């Protein structure tokens, strides 16, 4: 498998940007595989993702920052460099419902998700068998009343020990503390079972059913301090009718949740998501 | 064209309901063309729409209520009888943007909408040419500050004079008074340019753009006293990406608005909508 | 769990049909839970599905046929009676790719699919672990060249022994013989990885990619003697773009295949599908 | 309104391409507004669309070819240069059904379509009023048996006289001769009322209805010598059920046809479509 580098850039839009970046990469013999850019006319921003083959790239990546910094400074770039390997390390958090977990682990095994999944953490035991089947270590950390702080400390200790890069909340029904969220900025992915901003908060299917909507939705997003308010990564919907009872909404919703969360995970680990303000650009 | 009767029923679910209705219709020689029913298991409700050919029906419709009342009383039915002709009379209200109006009038001319449209009312002059083209009388009633009450009185006088059955708000940007709304219960159809309940109120596309949603929507609903809160008839969505600027959302949204409003109008005039609580059943 | 009976009827459309059926059921004290009917105006056909609670139904189901036959004969009905329990027995056939199998077994365990799955049959060994995980006996019957007939005999012997009601081809890549197909009329469900009738036959994703379509699809259908030509049960599509390579089509297609096959299985085991001519009515 | 230039490039993928193009444009002071590129890994092709503001571009466009040719030759580029103004000139061909025509003219008037539409040509008179309403000259050229050649000569004479850039077949039910097609390579856009390649040829809705499909579709494509076989530009589908009769398919299909044709027209006139082989890249 080809090893590649991915450069993500975000800066004020100015003449000469593309030429500066392309010349820099060419001067080090980069063979560009994919390049995608977006110019936000309203906010005068330039956003770019460029990926190149590392096999004959002449610049040591350890020295990339030093070499690239003059360009970055000239254009006031906010940038980061990623590589396709080693794979990012993901921890999956889950509560009782394990459909998103089972879906992610199946895709992972089949090669759809280019990441390592060293562990699953749950406040319940239900999801242990599916994690075992895919040979992913399962950490059962029950959540007793008033123990949230201790539980989070244990969780963070485990994440640290495994040098986890990102956390996927795959129907994890606990609210993370601001301290936890701050530790993984733009690196905690959640799935909410509604078409946000509609029905943020608790029991969205019940509220959708009561309101009589004709479509239900699901949303994957990055977690921020404010509940269900982080940058949206993906959304999808399914049609319902009066023939659908509440349990039908929940059943149809599970398929939506799997789709929007698995797409978000894939885009995240392939470094296809750029967050700016409270919005995302998906370079797919 | 076949003349038909449509009976819409809504009552507590009880054994023998279908047999009672079917026997009654058969005893008067009804040839049933369509029958659709729904049993809401949660609220224990029975809802039905049945349509039959009137050509060899032996009961005078003027006497239908008297003959049907024993059954209706026994089963505590909330019911109404409609006929496919004469066509219901619709008034369309519009402001500056005339895409929904143009769409409805085109469909009406082509035979998609089985209704009469005796008039269009607008607080602006922009939509006059398209109404003229389809030979629909256009009433321009400008809305000066502080004149809302007078304007509504004039509107209602026109609606009365033409014996209007239902009002379609085809991007009419004024809020109707509770008095006006009360006069046309479940007979005012509106299109809101968002996926309700998300972005109810003003400037939904702007707010959707700012929130960074990945799908935009439109909703048709009956108007009640509470803004954007009436029973939802139809919703649809379109995918957007970071490449879509605000004006692209507005453009894509226009197509959604046309679709959801025209479907709602068709279902309304074909007597396919049953409202119960704040929800609708669509017998399509 | 409530035990119910489901009556499926298909006959020429005639006055009095609904009353005759409703009266018959009421006379035996049936409490109707769901009734859905369709009148095909073009072919003058009447199709109905009615489901009732058996707990206080006064007619022994063993005598249902005898009692119902006068009505059935008068109206020339093609009918069948099903019950919600015992569950129908499904065998799943699979080849190397096990995404549909894993999806069906997950849904089955979670209670979405009201059926028994006594066995999985495969011409390859790859799918054994997932069947084992869900504790479904896995029969590995390799397909050597020229052995098709012997393999089918062994398959049929196993199906007979387990009194299998229906066979689900969950990406089973062998073509069944006419003899096999004839033995399970309208009881073999297949998923084809294209939007039929486009790209019937081999390698549909390759051909879709070469043709440059903008949407890919999947189709679930009953198997008949003619390849990919049986009555269609469900179809769905996903948008693709020039950014999608062949492997992306295959990956996106897997999700479509799971959706359309699982819906077909659910509708089949809940007796919601009526086949007439080469078409299906889905009473959902 | 900003005047822009659009450069469309198509060549073998090679290192240094992006830098060469970006440097060339920068050397003439181009302010790039949008750039989008695609690398087809399978066929080793590079495709690019780049758009820049002409207001401070220092190179006279008349000399662009001469200046750019060294780069174009070095990289074996197939390229073309377009400008956002003057607008391209479109002729619309229509037969009896005018829903696509009405839709295009409405969008044109509202500013959605950046083109001139100097004329409509029809073999029938039905569409004259809607063309008149939008003040577009309407040429009624009836098609008598055996007169196809004369009719096409008259059509081509009119197209020549108006220096038409592209022809839009908006439900034009005549088949164009190879001679006509050859005269407008990749400049004749058609809408076919099926999800191609399914149901190419005549009466697609009838055949979709007979086959019992669960979704109907529409396709916009460039016209080539082989009927319904040209490069696909856009496709969309709508769900149908057994409740939909043939006329419902036709009605729902009209909305699909309008959507896929109007998108194709917009992408064509904004120079967002690159054809390679028998496929299209849409730079949206």
pLDDT at B7: 98
On chain C, the residues whose CB falls within 8 A of the CB of A133 are 129, 133
Nearest by CB to residue C255, choosing from A133, A259, A284, is A259
| Dist CA C118 CA C135 (whole Å) | 9
Interface of B with D in 232-271 (CB under 8 A): 243, 251, 255, 259
Element (H, E) at C156: helix C148-161
* Contact (Cβ atoms closer than 8 angstroms) between residue A198 and residue B195: yes
Q: How high is the pLDDT of residue C191?
A: 98
How far lies B17's CA from each of A122, B48, B273, C21, D71, in Å? 50, 10, 20, 13, 81
Residues 6+ apart with CB under 8 A from B144: none
Strand partners, C234: C220
CB contact under 8 Å between C278 and D198, yes or no, is no
Find the CB nearest D212 among C212, C241, C279. Answer: C279
- Name the phi and psi angles at C89, rounded to 5: -100, 120
Query: Does residue B281 sit at the A interface (CB-CB below 8 Å)?
Result: yes
| pLDDT value of residue C2 | 85
pLDDT confidence tier of residue B144, bands split at 50, 70 and 90: confident
Distance CA C264, CA D214 (A): 12
Query: CB count, 10 Å around CB of C187?
Result: 17
Q: Which of residues 165-194 of B touch C (CB under 8 A)?
A: none
For residue A25, give the nearest of A51, A63, A62 by alpha carbon: A51
- Per residue in B149-168, pLDDT (tens digit) is 999 999 999 999 999 999 99
Q: Round to the nearest angstrom and report the end-to-end CA distance of chain A.
A: 20
Q: Which of A214, A235, A246 to mutate to test the interface with B (most CBs of B within 10 A)?
A: A214
Q: Which of B110, B112, B133 sits opposite D133 (nearest CB)?
A: B133
Identify the band that residue B54 occupies on the pLDDT scale cut at 50, 70 and 90: very high
Q: What's CA C239's distance to the chain center, in Å?
A: 26
For A18, the closest of D15, D29, D35 (CB atoms) is D35
For residue A25, name the pLDDT band (cuts at 50, 70, 90): very high
Chain A residue nearest residue C110, CA to CA: A99
Q: How much of chain A, in percent, has pLDDT values that exceed 70?
A: 100
Question: Which residues in chain C touch residue D237, judged by CB atoms under 8 angstroms apart?
Answer: 215, 237
**Closest chain A residue to the Cα of B282, Cα to Cα:** A242
Helices (H), D165-283: 178-183, 204-211, 246-269
C228 or D237: whose pLDDT is higher?
D237
What is the reported pLDDT for D145? 86
Record: contact B197-A195, CB cut-off 8 A: no
Handedness of CA B163, B166, B172, B178 (dihedral sign): positive
Kindly state the average pLDDT of the residues B80-86. Answer: 96
Give the count of beta carbons closer than 10 Å to the beta carbon of residue D78.
13
Distance CA A33, CA A43 (A): 28
Q: Which residue of D has its CA nearest to B283?
A: D243
Chain D positions touching B99 (Cβ under 8 A) are: 106, 110
CA–CA distance, C194 with C215 (Å, rounded to integer): 10
- pLDDT tens readout for residues C129-170: 999 999 999 999 999 888 999 999 999 999 999 999 999 999
Minimum-distance CB partner of A280 among B212, B235, B237: B212
pLDDT at res. D43? 85
Q: For all residues of chain D together, what is the average pLDDT? A: 96
Distance CA C193, CA C190 (A): 10
- Mean pLDDT for C58-73 is 97
Q: How far is D111 from chain A (nearest CA, A)?
A: 19
Paired sense of beta strands C232-239 and C273-276, if any: unpaired
pLDDT band at B205 (very low <50, low <70, confident <90, very high): very high
Q: Average pLDDT of D268-276?
A: 97
What single-letter DSSP state applies at residue C18?
Answer: H
**Residue C177: per-residue pLDDT:** 96
Distances from the Cα of B182 to the Cαs of A27, B222, D140, in angstroms?
A: 73, 12, 51
Between residues D146 and A153, the one the model is more confident about: A153
Evaluate whether C279 touches D242 at the Cβ level (below 8 Å): yes
pLDDT number for residue C41: 81
* Burial letters B160-171, b for 16+ CB under 10 A, else e: eeeebbbbbbbb
What pLDDT sits at residue C133?
98
What's the whole-number mean pLDDT along residues D170-181?
96
D155 burial via Cβ count (<10 Å: 0-12, 13-18, 19+):
buried
Confidence of residue B277 (pLDDT cuts 50, 70, 90): confident
DSSP state of B161: H
pLDDT of residue A2: 85
**C111 — contact with chain A (CB < 8 Å)?**
no
- Whether the Cβ atoms of residue A91 and residue A84 lie closer than 8 Å to each other: no
β-strands B188-192, B166-169: how paired? Answer: parallel
The answer for residues whose C-beta is within 8 angstroms of residue B150's C-beta and 6 or more apart is: none
- Asked if C173 and C144 count as a contact pair (C-beta separation under 8 A), the reply is no
Q: Active site includes C228? A: yes
Segment C94-134, tens digit of pLDDT: 999 999 999 999 999 999 999 999 999 999 999 999 999 99
Give the three-state DSSP class for C179. Answer: helix
Measured between CB atoms, does A43 come within 8 Å of chain D? no
Q: pLDDT band for position C43 (50/70/90)?
A: confident
Instruction: Round to whole Å and give the CA distance between C235 and D216.
Output: 10
Nearest CA distance, B134 vs chain C (angstrom) = 32
Nearest CA in chain B to C239: B239
Q: Starting from the edge strand earliest in sequence, which strands make up the sheet with C45-53, in order?
A: C31-40, C45-53, C4-12, C78-83
Mean pLDDT to the nearest integer, B89-107: 98
List the 63-82 stretch of B: residues with Cβ below 8 A of D.
Answer: none
CA distance A33 to chain D (A): 7
Residue C144 pLDDT:
87
Q: What's the first-to-final CA gap in chain D, in angstroms?
A: 20
Q: Please state, in angstroms and rounded to a whole number, the distance separating the CA atoms of residues B50 and B28.
A: 14
From A53, A228, A236, A255, the catalytic residue: A228
Confidence label for A277 from pLDDT (cuts 50, 70 and 90): confident
Cα-to-chain-centroid distance, residue D253: 20
Residue of D nearest to C42 (CA): D245
| Average pLDDT for B169-186 | 96
Half-sphere exposure of D41 (CA within 13 A, CB side): 14
DSSP symbol at D76? T
D163 and C CB contact within 8 Å? no
The answer to whether A5 contacts chain D (CB < 8 Å) is no
CB of C36 less than 8 A from some CB of B: yes
Asked if D243 lies within 8 A of B284 by C-beta distance, the reply is: yes
| Interface test mutation site (partner D, options B1, B36, B97, B103, max chain D beta carbons within 10 A) | B103
pLDDT score recorded for residue B171: 97
Between CA B194 and CA A213 the distance in angstroms is 12
Query: Shortest Cα distance from A44 to chain C (angstroms)?
Result: 26
Strand extents, DSSP E, chain C = 4-12, 31-40, 45-53, 78-83, 89-94, 116-122, 138-140, 166-169, 188-192, 215-222, 232-239, 273-276, 279-282
B125 Cβ under 8 Å from any chain A Cβ: no
Looking at residue C159, its pLDDT comes to 98
CA distance linking residue A127 with residue C217, whole number of Å:
32
Q: Who's near A260: CB < 8 A, 6+ residues apart?
A: A191, A218, A219, A220, A233, A234, A235, A236
What are the chain B neighbours of D133 within 8 Å (beta carbons)? Answer: 129, 133
Q: State the best of A133, A241, A265 to mutate against chain C, taking most chain C CBs within 10 Å.
A: A133
| Sequential DSSP letters for chain A | ---EEEEEEEEE--TTHHHHHHHHHHHTT-EEEEEEEEEETTTTEEEEEEEEESTT--S-GGGHHHHHHHHHHHTT-EEEEEES-SPPEEEEEE-S--HHHHHHHHHHHTTSS-SEEEEEEESSSTTHHHHHHTT--EEE----TT-HHHHHHHHHHHHHHTT--EEEESS--SPPPHHHHHHSTT-EEEEESSSTTTT-SS-HHHHHHHHT-SEEEEEEEE--SSTT-SPEEEEEEEE--TT--HHHHHHHHHHHHHHHHHHHHHHHHTT-EEEETTEEEE--
Chain A residue with Cα closest to C130? A133
* Cross-chain CB nearest to C278 (options D38, D42, D212): D212
Q: Which of C31, C37, C239 sits opposite B35 (nearest CB)?
A: C37
Tell me which residue of D256, D165, D272, D186 sits closest to D215, measured CA to CA: D256
Q: Measured between alpha carbons, how far is A235 from B258 in angstroms, rounded to an integer?
A: 23
* C-alpha span between D94 and D25 (Å, rounded): 42
pLDDT at residue A178 is higher than 90: yes
Reported as a pLDDT band with limits 50, 70 and 90, residue D267 is: very high
Judged by a CB distance cut-off of 8 A, whether residue B121 touches chain D is: no
Separation CA A198–CA D122 (nearest Å): 48
Whole-angstrom Cα distance, residue A133 to residue A112? 18
The mean predicted confidence, pLDDT, of chain A is: 96
Å from D133 to nearest chain B CA?
A: 7
Active site residues of B: 228
Q: What is the pLDDT of residues B31-50, one digit of tens each?
A: 999 999 999 888 899 999 99
Q: What is the pLDDT of residues A42-97, one digit of tens each?
A: 889 999 999 999 999 999 999 999 999 999 999 999 999 999 999 999 999 999 99
Give the chains touching A; criterion: ≥3 Cβ pairs < 8 Å.
Answer: B, C, D
Nearest by CB to A34, which of D16, D25, D39? D39
Any CB–CB contact under 8 A between D215 and chain A? Answer: no
pTM: predicted TM-score of the whole model, two decimal places: 0.97
D22 interfacial to chain A (CB closer than 8 Å):
yes
Q: Which of C228, C236, C255, C284 is catalytic?
A: C228
Mean pLDDT of D247-267: 98
Q: In chain A, pLDDT over 90 holds for what percent of residues? A: 94
Residue A75: predicted pLDDT: 97
CA separation for the pair A110, A78 (Å, rounded): 35
Q: HSE-up of A247 (CA within 13 Å, CB side)?
A: 6
Across chain C, what does the average pLDDT equal?
A: 96
Phi, psi of B195 (to 5 degrees): -85, 90
Residues in contact with A54: Cβ distance below 8 Å, sequence separation at least 6, in sequence order: A2, A3, A4, A5, A61, A83
C197 preceded by a cis bond (ω within 30 of 0): yes
pLDDT tens by residue, C191-232: 999 999 999 999 999 999 999 999 999 999 999 999 899 999
What pLDDT is stored for residue B145 in this prediction?
86
Cβ–Cβ contact B284 with D under 8 A: yes
Nearest to A213 among B40, B235, B245 (CB): B235
How close D37 gets to chain C, by Cα (Å)? 10
DSSP letters spanning B79-127: EEEEES-SPPEEEEEE-S--HHHHHHHHHHHTTSS-SEEEEEEESSSTT
D170 DSSP 8-state letter:
S
Residues 6+ apart with CB under 8 A from A133: A105, C129, C133
CB contact under 8 A, D102 and B99: no
- Please state, as a whole number, how many other Cβ atoms lie within 10 Å of the Cβ of residue B141: 16
CB-side neighbour CA atoms (13 Å) of A184? 25
Bridge partner list, B218: B236
Residue B1 has pLDDT above 80, yes or no: no
Confidence of residue B2 (pLDDT cuts 50, 70, 90): confident
Residue A231 CA to residue A192 CA, distance in Å, equals: 12
| Averaged pLDDT for residues D46-59 | 96
pLDDT of residue A42: 80
Residue B244's contacts (CB-CB under 8 Å, 6 or more residues apart) are B252
From B239, which residue of chain C is nearest by alpha-carbon distance?
A: C239
Amino acid A267: pLDDT? 98
- D29: confidence class by pLDDT, cuts 50, 70, 90: very high
- B176: which residues sit within 8 A by CB, 6+ positions away? B152, B169, B188, B223
Q: What was the ipTM of the complex prediction?
A: 0.95
């Amino acid at each position: 498998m080809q090893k590649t580098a991915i450069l993500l850039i975000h800066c004020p839009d100015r003449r000469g940007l593309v030429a500066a970046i392309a010349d820099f990469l060419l001067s080090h013999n980069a063979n560009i595989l994919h390049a995608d850019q977006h110019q936000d006319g309203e906010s005068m921003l330039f956003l770019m993702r460029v990926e190149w083959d590392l096999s004959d790239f002449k610049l040591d990546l350890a020295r990339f920052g030093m070499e690239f910094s003059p360009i970055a400074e000239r254009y006031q770039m906010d940038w980061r460099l990623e590589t396709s390997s080693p794979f990012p390390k993901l921890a999956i958090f889950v509560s009782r419902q394990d459909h998103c977990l089972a879906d992610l682990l199946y895709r992972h095994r089949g090669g759809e998700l280019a990441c390592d999944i060293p562990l699953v953490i749950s406040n319940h035991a239900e999801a242990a068998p599916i994690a075992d089947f895919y040979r992913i270590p399962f950490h059962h950390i029950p959540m007793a009343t008033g123990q949230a702080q201790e539980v989070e400390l244990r969780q963070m200790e485990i994440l640290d020990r495994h040098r986890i890069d990102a956390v996927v909340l795959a129907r994890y029904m606990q609210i993370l503390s601001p301290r936890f969220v701050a530790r993984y900025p733009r690196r905690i992915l959640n799935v909410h079972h509604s078409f946000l901003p509609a029905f943020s908060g608790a029991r969205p299917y019940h509220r959708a059913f009561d309101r009589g909507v004709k479509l239900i939705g699901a949303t994957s997003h990055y977690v921020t301090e404010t509940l269900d308010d982080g940058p949206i990564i993906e959304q999808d919907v399914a049609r319902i009718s009066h023939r659908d009872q509440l349990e039908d909404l929940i059943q149809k919703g599970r398929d939506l949740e799997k789709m929007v969360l698995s797409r978000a995970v894939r885009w995240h680990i392939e470094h296809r998501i750029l967050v700016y303000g409270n919005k995302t650009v998906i370079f797919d």
